[in-house]
Amino acid sequence: MILEITSGEQEVLPGPRLFNMAKIKLKIDDREIEAEAGTTVLEAAKAVGIEIPHYCYHPGLSIDGNCRMCLVEIEKIPKPVISCHTRVAEGMVVKTQTENVKKMRNSVMEFLLINHPLDCPTCDQAGECRLQDYYMQYDRIASRFAEEKVHKNKMVDLGAGVMLDQERCIACSRCVRFCNEVSKTGELVLANRGDHVTITTFPGKKLSNPYAGNVVDICPVGALTSNEFRFKKRVWFLSKTESVCTGCSRGCAIEIHFEASKVYRLIPRFNPQVNSYWMCDEGRHGFHFVNENRILKPTKNGVEISASMAISYLAGEIKNLSPASLGIVAHATLSNEVLSILKELGTSLGTQVFFSRNEPHNPLSDHFLMTKDKNPNQMGINHMGFKPLSELTQGQSLIVINGLSKKDGELVTQKKAKVIALFSANESELSKNCSLVFPIPTFAEQNGHFTNGDGLVQAFKAAFKPRGESKEIGVYLHMLLAQLEDKKPRVAFGI
Nearest approach, Cβ of residue 62 and ligand SF4 (Å): 14
Q: Beginning with the edge strand found earlier in the chain, give each strand of the sheet holding 253-259 in spatial order.
A: 239-244, 253-259, 262-268
Nearer Cβ to ligand SF4 (185/325): 185
Nearer to ligand SF4, 39 or 276 (CB): 276
Q: Cβ closer to ligand SF4: 188 or 434?
A: 188
Task: Give the distance from CA 88 to its chain's centroid.
Answer: 33
Between 152 and 478, name the residue whose CB sits nearer to ligand SF4.
152
Half-sphere exposure of 57 (CA within 13 A, CB side): 20
- Quote the least distance from Cβ 141 to ligand SF4, whole Å: 22
- β partners of residue 352: 327
CA–CA distances in Å: residue 206 to residues 333, 365, 470: 34, 22, 42
Report cis status (omega within 30 of 0) of the bond before 363.
yes
Least Å distance, CB 220 to ligand SF4, is 6
Q: Among residues 360 and 489, whose Cβ is nearest to ligand SF4?
A: 360
* CB nearer ligand SF4, residue 173 or residue 273: 173
Beta carbons within 8 Å of 242's beta carbon, 6+ residues apart: 8, 9, 253, 254, 255, 269, 459, 460, 461
Rounded to a whole number of angstroms, the minimum distance from the CB of residue 410 to ligand SF4 is: 25
> H or E stretch including 208?
none
State the minimum distance, in angstroms, from the CB of residue 110 to ligand SF4: 17
Helix (H) or strand (E) holding 433: helix 429-433
Residue 419's Cβ-side half-sphere holds a number of Cα atoms within 13 Å equal to 30
Minimum CB distance to ligand SF4 smaller for 29 or for 110: 110
CB 441 within 8 A of CB 466: yes
For residue 164, with 0-12 CB atoms within 10 Å meaning exposed, 13-18 middle and 19 or more buried, which class applies? buried
Shortest separation between residue 311's beta carbon and ligand SF4, angstroms: 34
To ligand SF4, the closest distance from the beta carbon of 168 in angstroms equals: 7
**Which sign does the torsion angle of CA 373, 375, 376, 379 carry?**
negative
Q: Report the alpha-carbon distance of residue 268 to residue 398 in Å, rounded.
A: 37
Question: Closest approach of Cβ 343 to ligand SF4, in Å?
Answer: 25
**Residues making contact with ligand SF4 (CB under 6 A):** 169-175, 199, 219, 221, 223-224, 245, 247-248, 250-252, 275, 279-280, 282-283, 369-370
Residue whose CB is less far from ligand SF4, 211 or 476 = 211
Calculate the dihedral angle through the C-alpha atoms of 414, 416, 417, 419, rounding to the nearest 10 degrees.
100
